[in-house]
């Protein structure tokens, strides 16, 4: 595409006014307009063509790839669907079931903190407890 523009400019060159310095001294080197090697390259022309097509179709340059857009759309739909199901499930529960669920959650929260304390214990204490258990098991087996 860019090469076509350059060819058209070369044809128009005859119509443009020529500088007067050419007539002064024929021994001077006549300047030529240099071609930009980046714009003349094949890859640049293809990229430019693709950008023009995207612009005509209304796609932005900074738009995301199609796969990424589809995956985000699916994730969004799944979250919306999940939230709707949760709201519907809450609506369908009677007040008695809701109260039972709240009590069950409170009981679960009360049971969880002791487990967390055990998890934060240093490893050597856990190993020591395991050794004690093993020692008591082996002593019981010997007694039998």
Q: Is residue 100 part of a domain?
A: yes
* Residue 96 structure tokens: 């008695």
Q: Is residue 129 part of a domain?
A: no
Give me the number of domains the chain comprises: 1
Domain hosting 106: range is 38-111
Q: Is residue 6 part of a domain?
A: no
Q: Is residue 84 part of a domain?
A: yes
State residue 76's pLDDT score: 96
Q: Which of the pair, 141 or 27, is modelled with greater confidence?
A: 27
Q: Is residue 127 part of a domain?
A: no
Q: What is the pLDDT of residues 75-131, one digit of tens each?
A: 999 999 999 998 888 777 788 888 888 999 999 988 886 555 556 778 888 888 888
State residue 75's pLDDT score: 96
State residue 22's pLDDT score: 53
Separation CA 97–CA 101 (nearest Å):
6
């Amino acid at each position: 595409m860019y090469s076509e523009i350059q060819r058209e400019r070369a044809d128009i060159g005859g119509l443009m006014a020529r500088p007067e310095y050419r007539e002064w001294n024929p021994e001077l080197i006549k300047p030529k307009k240099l071609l930009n090697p980046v714009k003349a390259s094949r890859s640049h022309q293809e990229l430019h063509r693709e950008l023009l097509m995207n612009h005509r179709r209304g796609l932005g340059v900074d738009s995301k790839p199609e796969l990424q857009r589809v995956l985000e759309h699916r994730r969004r739909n799944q979250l919306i669907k999940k939230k709707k199901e949760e709201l519907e499930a809450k609506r369908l529960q009677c007040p008695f079931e809701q109260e039972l669920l709240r009590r069950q959650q409170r009981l679960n929260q009360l049971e969880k903190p002791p487990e967390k304390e055990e998890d934060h214990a240093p490893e050597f204490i856990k190993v020591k407890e395991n050794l004690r258990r093993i020692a008591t098991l082996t002593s019981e087996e010997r007694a039998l």
